[in-house]
Amino acid sequence: MSDLVILILLGALSVASALGLLLSQNAIYAALFLVLNFIIGAVIFLVLNAPFLAVVQISVYAGAIMVLFVFVIMLLGAERLAPTENPPGLNYQRPLAVTLGVALLLLSAYVLFVRPSTSVVMTQPVDTSPQAVGIQLFTTYAFPFEVVSLLLLAAMIGAVVLTRKTE
């Protein structure tokens, strides 16, 4: 039960930082709100018994990816975002987006809380230590692991080719 209290507090912080990302007018502030959101996500992973993912979340997401974002924002000098007026011909877009988003939220709340849950499968907790995750990664998931390494190579070459100076 105490897990739930911690999760509710973390969830409130998480939603607040996501709203900060959505509403901030400065790209750097938005990136920092996103870093905060990722760190809170890492703590939620810890509560949910996933220590390996919590560390990967901090080092890869909050570390590498967000450093790349902040670097690009400052390199371009694009901190000040343009005022967010509607483009001509899309005036219906904003109210429609808000309406559909609220509808999606209500629907998921209904499915999770109102509708009686059918079958709660509770098995005994498995070993989720980094050692167990590593063994799974290099035995059962060896092929996806190799495919992902190819994907990262392709992304690296793509990024180099795209940003090359063409004369």
User: Could you say which residues in the range 92-121 bind other proteins, by CB under 8 A?
Assistant: 93-94, 97-98, 101-102, 104-105, 108-109, 112-113, 117, 120-121
Q: Is residue 142 part of the contact set for other proteins (CB under 8 A)?
A: no
Residue of 122, 139, 143, 167 interacting with other proteins (CB under 8 A): 122
Tokens of 56: 């990967």
| Exposed e or buried b per residue across 80-106, where buried means at least 16 C-beta atoms within 10 angstroms of its C-beta | eeeeeeeeeeeeeeeeeeeeeeeeeee
Q: CA nearest 50: which of 42, 40, 58?
A: 42
Q: Is residue 74 part of the contact set for other proteins (CB under 8 A)?
A: no
Backbone dihedral angles phi then psi of residue 84, each to the nearest 5 degrees: -95, 65
Residue of 125, 139, 143, 167 interacting with other proteins (CB under 8 A): 125
Q: Is residue 146 part of the contact set for other proteins (CB under 8 A)?
A: no
Q: Of residues 33-72, which lie at the interface with other proteins (CB under 8 A)?
A: 34, 37-38, 41, 44-45, 47-50, 52-53, 56-57, 60-61, 64-65, 68-69, 72
Dist. CA 10–CA 8, nearest whole Å? 5
- Helix axis angle for 2-23 and 27-47, nearest 10°, is 170
CB of 91 to other proteins, least distance (A): 13
Q: Is residue 9 part of the contact set for other proteins (CB under 8 A)?
A: no
